[in-house]
Amino acid sequence: MKIFYSEEHRNHYPLFEVFDGGIRVPYYENPDRMDRILAALKVAPWAEFAEPEDFGLDPILAVHDAGYIKFLASCWDDWLDSDPEAAASPETHTFLPATFALRRKARPTSTVRGRGGYYMMDLSACIVAGTYKAALTSTNIALSAANSSFIFQNSSFALCRPPGHHAGKDYAGGYCFINNASVAANWLTQKGKTAILDIDYHAGNGTQDIFYERDDVLTISIHGDPDFEYPHYAGFADETGAGAGLGFHRNFPLPKGTDDVGYLAALDEALNLIRSFAPEYLVLSFGADTFDGDPLGTFRVTRAGFAEIGKRISSLNLPVAILMEGGYANEALGENTKTLLENFK
């Protein structure tokens, strides 16, 4: 299996986030996550590492708002220009918005903090000097995997960091800046019919946002019920698409404590929907935060469960571009990821 990876992600390492009332909590989505996965995969005889290609901005702008991407590109420099304290010691600072927009009436403002509140949905999508370039590279990793799956008609793995599935058309959130899965899937639609399956613990609200009114891509997310879990305002069972996209989005919100049996039952239903849609390609948003003991999840999926998840998705007999999303039980993350991947054909 080809595995696409770049060291560029190390330049995106915010020192802290604001989490559940905790101020300056160490950043959960950190480079150690990638190190754990790399250590596990480098000893796998089937793993073939490759650098990503540069696909330029066009595939990104086909999915995301141009004003939002411009904000990501300029935010850090604009903030340093406007904040002397941050400019004096940028290595100790992280950009976060001061307020958030009421999107029904909002518009981007002239100040960088105002634009931050418009283009960011929470306090976990922290921006530092290397964030934009890392996000671009992460998307190129996803596109390289999609291209490999198209060319070789097999499965590939995009070791993406930062992740992407919480990023919407014009906003960042949940550690995500550019929606890697959506960009890759939209690119693949030029090659054939495409579906997205999101198996991260948290609902893929950004992916839902991007494809909600489209009928050319089936999007499915299996996740913790947003009634109690992040992102709280998307991922409910009655959200099935709108307009032309009605019926082409499906959410499977699951209760706290969901184990292998409960998870696999939902997965089987999702896979039957994919079979009925009959795509030629699948983009898999893989988050290992469904694992029993993950600090940001409540599910009880085991390593054996990850093996079975891989087998059942592989049974679709489709070229699958597998993209890394979440997973924060770092000690187990490498082996869990390897277990899922080695069960793909």
**pLDDT tens digit sequence for 271-320:** 999 999 999 999 999 999 999 999 999 999 999 999 999 999 999 999 99
Residue 37 in any domain: the answer is: yes
Residue 88 in any domain: the answer is: yes
Residue 60 in any domain: the answer is: no
Residue 89 in any domain: the answer is: yes
Which of 6-20, 132-146, 174-188 is least confident? 6-20
Residue 247 in any domain: the answer is: yes
For 25, 36, 80, 107, 323, the CA distances from 334, given in Å and listed in that order, are: 23, 5, 37, 42, 14
Q: Which long-range contacts (CB under 8 A, 24 or more apart) does 225-228 make?
A: 225/253, 225/254, 225/255, 225/256, 226/253, 227/253, 228/256
Do 85 and 211 share a domain, yes or no?
A: no
Indicate which residue of 93, 166, 202, 223 is catalytic.
Answer: 166
Do 253 and 194 share a domain, yes or no?
A: yes
Do 28 and 147 share a domain, yes or no?
A: yes
Residue 61 in any domain: the answer is: no
Is 166 a residue of the active site? yes
Do 260 and 322 share a domain, yes or no?
A: yes
Question: Which residue range forms the structural domain that includes residue 109?
Answer: 67-119
Q: Which of 248, 246, 292, 291 is nearest to 273 (CA)?
A: 248
Region 102-131: mean pLDDT is 88
Do 8 and 72 share a domain, yes or no?
A: no
Judged against a pLDDT cut of 70, whether residue 104 lies above it is answered with: no
Task: Name the pLDDT band for 73 (thresholds 50, 70, 90).
Answer: very high
pLDDT tens digit string along 248-279? Answer: 999 999 999 999 999 999 999 999 999 999 99
Do 43 and 76 share a domain, yes or no?
A: no
Region 161-175: mean pLDDT is 97
Helix/strand/coil (H/E/C) assignment for every residue in the chain: CEEECCHHHHHCCCCCEEECCEEEECCCCCHHHHHHHHHHHCCCCCCEEECCCCCCCHHHHCCCCHHHHHHHHHHHHHHHHHCHHHHHCHHHCCECCCCCCCCCCCCCCCCHHHHHHHHECCCCCCECCCHHHHHHHHHHHHHHHHHHHHHHCCCEEECCCCCCCCCECCEEECCECCCHHHHHHHHHCCCCCEEEEECCCCCCHHHHHHHCCCCCEEEEEEEECCCCCCCCCCCCCCCCCCHHHCCCEEEEEECCCCEHHHHHHHHHHHHHHHHHHCCCEEEEEECHHHECCCCCCCCEECHHHHHHHHHHHHCCCCCEEEEECCCCCHHHHHHHHHHHHCCCC
Do 279 and 180 share a domain, yes or no?
A: yes
Task: Please tell me the pTM assigned to this model.
Answer: 0.97
- The CATH number that applies at residue 334 is 3.40.800.20
Q: Domains in the chain: how many in total? A: 2
Do 206 and 92 share a domain, yes or no?
A: no
Residue 125 in any domain: the answer is: no
Do 83 and 135 share a domain, yes or no?
A: no
Give residue 345's pLDDT.
67
Residue 216 in any domain: the answer is: yes
Give residue 276's identity as a one-letter amino acid code: S
Do 48 and 79 share a domain, yes or no?
A: no
Do 257 and 223 share a domain, yes or no?
A: yes
Do 81 and 43 share a domain, yes or no?
A: no
